[in-house]
Amino acid sequence: MARKTRDVLSVEWVRLELLRTAYATRGGLLARMDPRMVLLWYVLLAAAPWLTHNVTVLIGLFVLGAASVVASRVGPLVLGLFVFGLTTDIIALFAASFFFGGDWNTLAALAVLNLKIGVMSMASMAAFISLDPEKLSDALLALRAPELLAFGVSYGYRMLPILVDEYITVLEGMRLRSAAPASRGLLGWRTVLHWSVMSVTAFYPIMLNTAKNVRTTVEALETRGFTYAAHNPKGRTLRLAHLKVRGFDVAVVLTTLALVVLAFAIGVEYPLYRIG
Amino acid sequence: MTMHADPVIQVKHLSFRYPGAERDTLRNVSLEITRGDFVAVVGGNGSAKTTLCKTFNGLVPHYWAGDFAGSVSVDGQDTFDSTVAELSSTVGYVFQDFQNQLVRPTVRDEVSFGPLNFGHEDYAERTDETLEHLGISHLRDSFVWQLSGGQAHLVALASVLAMRPSVIVVDEPVAELDPARAREIYLQLRELNERHGITVITIEHHAEFVAEFAHSVILMADGAPVWHLPVQEAMNRHRDLEEHGIPAPDAVALSALVLGADDDVALDVSTAVELLRPHVAREFTATERPLDPGTDRELVASLRGVEHGYRSIGGALRPVLHRLDLDLHAGEQVALVGTNGAGKSTLMKLLTGLIVPRQGTVEIGGIDTRTRSATELADKVSYLYQRPQQMFLRDSVREDVAMFPTGRRREGAQELVNQVLTRVGLDPLAERDGRTLSGGQQRRATIAIGLAMTPSLLLLDEPTSSLDVRSRDDVMAMLASLSSTVRCAVVATHDMELVASWATRVLVLDQGRVLLDTDPRSMFSRPEVTGQARLLPPQAARIAQELGITPTPLTAAELRTCLPTRDAALTKENR
């Protein structure tokens, strides 16, 4: 098969999708909001499905979750993984329930659980895709999370693209220097195994390299007053001074709240519980 | 002496030993640095340059707690009674591996990080002002991982300057940057020094920058200063420098040839030109390296109508190579030069088969790269990455070198590995992890990895970057000896000395096109091309050009042949 440059479903595409997701480059509704309000919005939508067993309400919330995923411009990689995860979960449950002598009833009960998890996952996707690292760390700081956690989150984001690049480079090196299996094997299992081994062992050099590199980072943090700030809260106040809840933020949260209430109201009117 | 009128840093009888070390790293150091000075700290590997500079901001002894004797005072403050945080407001530090110094996601956040931590109300103004000073305001919303090396260095510098220090220490700016970018950094440092009165201390291996920018020079050897002199006197003692592994810049070495023992040597190109002009012959007989006639120019690789580009984060296709046609032949030593983003790395990756072009064809030894996997093509092509650590995939150098030949069950793999290790001089270190070796040894280990793949086409990405001068000479000698085993070698580089002394063919890439395809001498004789591709010819070549010598000598050794011997020059002077 002739090789060609692919723009989707290639290593490069995964890399770009990760960055777009982590750095909220697509914008969207929630990306324009104050990060603390985004977290509040998230708690609201993620908690709601756990308050009921009413399938009507859950379907309503599911639709709301799906709409927020669209409004937040969630990328194809994350969305694809979510759909893949949800469908394989359903198929697995289906198989398992029949294997253990269950029937349609068991499956319906499990479907309710899946709906709840689905709503929560979609809320998570919408919220965290809209928070770039600075916003997320400011929000955590504002909510009195430990300084180190807030910093760790933003530092993790700063390192992510570099680690991804490094990983790809090491993986390329392995491709070039290791020998491919002589025959592909049944369904290409040898090739799959070869790639699996490479993708796991590629982590090893990266960890060693990173361990070496962070020595400078730790010294640099010291020189730039990171530990000083831990004892002097003035920096925190200054850093968070820019956070401001605007009418738009309140409107989005209130609208969501109204829609959740609406879903519950419809649920009361047309209740649908699992039969049995 | 007026020079020590107002010392900003005073070191008295300082000795320091790292915890667990056998002997003192700093040995009874006493020196003074005057406010407003531009100091270069020079010295061989292991002469404790970095350790000395880390005593200025208190990293030694507060972060590196060891045996500390004597005293260091900064702006009247004894560092032992102070903290790193307090001292950092006075002394800013830009690390050698400055990329690891950047800790925040965006440039603006990075620069304001220090002022915010120290609770300065005016952090936003400081950030804007610093970015403005360094001319990088347009980068303020960029993510740090999007920056090029030069930009990242400026951001690291900005994040230090935002704390308004009166002293800044810059550890080896040239190590990770190409010379043209490093020069820009130095121009910025000069500006900060002259306009804003900031005391600048740089740790530097490259004497060319020292001669051009520094006001005074501290030569370190074995944990103590040999001397601290104004730059002119320091360069007049270029023999001392050379003894300690710092070769004199071409301007210094060449002007010394025509000067008496007590005269001041030239520190820059224009002074060297004035001094050399009366002595120099206008004609130069080049001894070109002939192409090996035995190979009959066999085709190793060929590219036809190659177009390639990458998707950007926004989704747009960013073209990198445009309709590229290129043939590489046996016996060639090709240097690939051009600015960052000119397409050098993309071209190399296309040749390895790691990527295939969006349009056009790449053939290696007559095989279209589209029809084979990169793993299969590795039988013919090997690619050595710029950062050696990325090539150490196993526990020891020996295993890394053996990975390819034993993985593919090559006959005589063991002998080949032994032979290659001996050739690069790493026999005694073969069982060590590559990461624990010095920069020069790491580079030799990667070359060994490449040689053990017995390729017909060897690709090297920046093989001489971030090496000190001695290791660099080592690597250059090794590259020169490659022609016997490798049929064709391609080096992507910013190192113009390497181009001048090693390459038989130069490809100048500019915005995805071949701007020029010729031999090094012809390239360096065309200022319009070197200007457009932002290439800085070796200092000797620049001197030769201003002297109007044709054809242009490229190295100090070549230019020397146009000069009379030392005695003859002096006699002529006296007449």
CATH of the domain at B54: 3.40.50.300
Using an 8 Å Cβ cutoff, are B349 and B378 in contact?
A: no
Count of beta carbons in the 10 Å neighbourhood of residue B190? 16
Nearest neighbour of A170 by CB, restricted to B97, B102, B390? B390
For B316, name the nearest residue in chain A, comparing CA atoms only.
A7
Nearest neighbour of B145 by CB, restricted to A3, A162, A202? A162
Interface mutation target, options A11, A18, A141, A177, chain B, most CBs of B under 10 Å: A177
Q: What is the pLDDT of residue B575?
A: 46
CB contact under 8 A, B114 and A2: no
Q: What is the ipTM of this complex?
A: 0.83
In which residue are the tokens 């550890």 written? B171
Same domain as B533, residue B472: yes
Contact residues, chain A, for B149 at CB < 8 Å: none
- Domain assignment present for A61: yes
Nearest neighbour of B371 by CB, restricted to A2, A179, A238? A2
Contact with chain A for residue B80, Cβ under 8 A = no
Contact with chain B for residue A226, Cβ under 8 A = yes
Contact residues, chain A, for B455 at CB < 8 Å: none
CB contact under 8 A, B385 and A180: no
- Domain assignment present for B132: no
CB contact under 8 A, A154 and B105: yes
- Domain assignment present for A16: no
- Domain assignment present for A152: yes
- Domain assignment present for A18: no
Contact residues, chain B, for A208 at CB < 8 Å: 433, 435
Same domain as B518, residue B437: yes
- Domain assignment present for A17: no
- Domain assignment present for B99: no
B195 CB-contact burial (10 Å; exposed 0-12 / middle 13-18 / buried 19+): exposed
- Domain assignment present for B148: no
Residues 68-97 of A with CB under 8 A from B: none
Distance CA A68, CA A82 (A): 15
Q: What is the pLDDT of residue B71?
A: 95
What average pLDDT is seen over chain A?
A: 88
Distance CA B332, CA B351 (A): 15
Using an 8 Å Cβ cutoff, are B215 and B39 in contact?
A: yes
- Return the bridge partners of B106, or none: B143
Contact with chain A for residue B390, Cβ under 8 A = yes
CB contact under 8 A, B370 and A4: yes
- R_g (Cα) of chain A, nearest Å: 23
B430 CB-contact burial (10 Å; exposed 0-12 / middle 13-18 / buried 19+): buried
Contact residues, chain B, for A158 at CB < 8 Å: 102-105, 144-145
Quote the minimal CA–CA distance from A168 to chain B in Å: 10
Same domain as B357, residue B436: yes
Contact with chain B for residue A211, Cβ under 8 A = no
CB contact under 8 A, A222 and B375: no
Size of the A and B interface in Cβ pairs below 8 Å: 174
Parent domain of A88? 23-269
CB contact under 8 A, B85 and A234: no
Assess whether pLDDT exceeds 50 at residue A276: no
pLDDT-derived band at A57, boundaries 50, 70, 90: very high
Query: Hey, what are B142's tokens?
Result: 């960029």
- Domain assignment present for A55: yes
Same domain as B550, residue B535: no
CB contact under 8 A, B355 and A5: yes
Quote the minimal CA–CA distance from B437 to chain A in Å: 13
- Return the bridge partners of B321, or none: B308
Q: What is the pLDDT of residue B294?
A: 47
Contact with chain B for residue A214, Cβ under 8 A = yes
Quote the minimal CA–CA distance from B495 to chain A in Å: 23
Q: What is the pLDDT of residue B197?
A: 94
CA angle at residue A198 from A195 to A204, to 5 degrees?
155
Contact residues, chain B, for A166 at CB < 8 Å: 390
Same domain as B448, residue B329: yes
Same domain as B422, residue B353: yes
Residues 13-52 of A with CB under 8 A from B: 13, 16, 19-20, 23, 25
**Eight-class DSSP state of B170:** E
Same domain as B321, residue B265: no
Same domain as B557, residue B519: no
For B159, name the nearest residue in chain A, comparing CA atoms only.
A224
CB contact under 8 A, A221 and B103: yes
Q: What is the pLDDT of residue B1?
A: 40
Distance CA B467, CA B471 (A): 6
Same domain as B340, residue B277: no
Interface mutation target, options B103, B106, B140, B321, chain A, most CBs of A under 10 Å: B103
Q: Report the percent of chain A where pLDDT is more than 70.
A: 99
**Per-residue confidence of chain B (575 residues) as pLDDT tens digits?**
444 468 999 999 999 999 888 999 999 999 999 999 999 999 887 789 999 999 999 999 998 889 999 999 999 999 999 999 999 999 999 998 898 999 988 899 999 999 999 999 999 999 999 999 899 999 999 988 888 888 999 999 999 999 999 999 999 887 777 777 888 899 999 999 999 999 999 999 889 999 999 999 999 999 999 999 999 999 999 999 999 888 899 999 999 999 888 899 999 999 999 999 999 887 888 776 555 544 467 899 999 999 999 888 888 888 999 999 999 999 899 999 988 778 898 999 999 999 999 999 999 999 999 999 899 999 999 999 988 989 999 999 999 999 999 998 888 999 999 999 998 889 999 999 998 888 888 999 999 999 999 999 999 998 988 777 778 888 888 888 887 788 899 999 988 989 998 999 999 999 899 999 999 999 998 889 988 888 889 999 999 999 999 888 999 999 999 888 655 555 555 54
> Does A43 or B569 have the greater pLDDT score?
A43
CA angle at residue A112 from A106 to A113, to 5 degrees?
95
B545: helix, strand or coil:
helix
Same domain as B278, residue B345: no
Nearest neighbour of B100 by CB, restricted to A4, A165, A217? A217
Residues 152-171 of A with CB under 8 A from B: 154-155, 157-158, 161-162, 165-166, 169-170
- Domain assignment present for A4: no
Q: What is the pLDDT of residue A91?
A: 86
Query: Hey, what are B523's tokens?
Result: 């390239």
In which residue are the tokens 């996952």 written? A121
Same domain as B319, residue B174: no
Number of domains chain A contains: 1
Parent domain of B282? 254-288+540-575
CB contact under 8 A, A209 and B109: no
- Domain assignment present for B496: yes
Distance CA B575, CA B573 (A): 6
- Domain assignment present for A276: no
Write the CB contacts of B422 (distance below 8 Å, at least 6 apart in sequence): none
Q: What is the pLDDT of residue B505?
A: 94
Residues 112-151 of A with CB under 8 A from B: 132-134, 151
pLDDT-derived band at A5, boundaries 50, 70, 90: confident
Number of domains chain B contains: 3
Quote the minimal CA–CA distance from B114 to chain A in Å: 5
CB contact under 8 A, B100 and A20: no
Q: What is the pLDDT of residue B566?
A: 59
Same domain as B369, residue B271: no
